[in-house]
Amino acid sequence: MFLTTPTILTWTRIVAIPLLVGVFYIGLDPGTQNLVATVMFVVFALTDWLDGYLARRLNQQSSFGAFLDPVADKFLVCASLLVLVHLKRADVFVALIIIGREIAISALREWMAQIGASKSVAVHMLGKVKTTVQMIAIPFLLFGGTLFGTIDTMLWGTVLIWVAAILTVWSMVYYLQRALPEIRKRVKR
């Protein structure tokens, strides 16, 4: 199931990430850059929901799709965070927390799968809330202005990205606690 409709959507999200980054390097005026990047991010984030929906609806769920979808999400978030740090709209500490957690938990999940204990680090609601907050904070920060004449997207984006960083640490601790019994078993051997 390498080229199903949901998987093609996921691949499209990965391939389009350089376009999102490139928007800030092609010489558009800052307001246009911000708007285009924000719209692109929102569209990419919606394809994340759409590919999962279509996979279930069309009965095209696959282990490859289950692997690729979170990879695409992590690429999108990490690339966007790096752009935001470069633009000085996000603190490098926040980016390090979020990107570091993604690497650590991905490695933990891979190891747990190898030892047959992947259920202990299965996706939890806390991780989904963290992702949702990130997916709201990032477009606010990409927009970097006033929305509808009243919403300061920099203020709200900054607050939300820090909330996401806190949720990131919290979810990492949760997953590590879940994995700890298996880790202890392996260390004793």
Go through the domains of the chain in sequence order and give each one's CATH number.
5-188 (1.20.120.1760)
pLDDT at 106: 86
pLDDT at 156: 97
| Residue pair 87/30 in contact by the 8 Å Cβ criterion | no
pLDDT at 18: 94
pLDDT at 128: 86
DSSP state for residue 115 in the 8-state scheme: T
| Residue pair 61/55 in contact by the 8 Å Cβ criterion | yes
DSSP string, 123-173: --HHHHHHHHHHHHHHHHHHH-SEETTTEEHHHHHHHHHHHHHHHHHHHHH
| Residue pair 138/80 in contact by the 8 Å Cβ criterion | yes
Averages of pLDDT over runs of 10 residues in the chain (189 residues) are 83 91 92 95 90 87 83 92 96 96 88 76 82 94 93 96 96 87 75
Between helices 63-86 and 92-114, what is the axis angle to 10°?
160
pLDDT at 189: 61
pTM over 0.85: yes
pLDDT at 21: 93
pLDDT at 184: 81
pLDDT at 1: 56
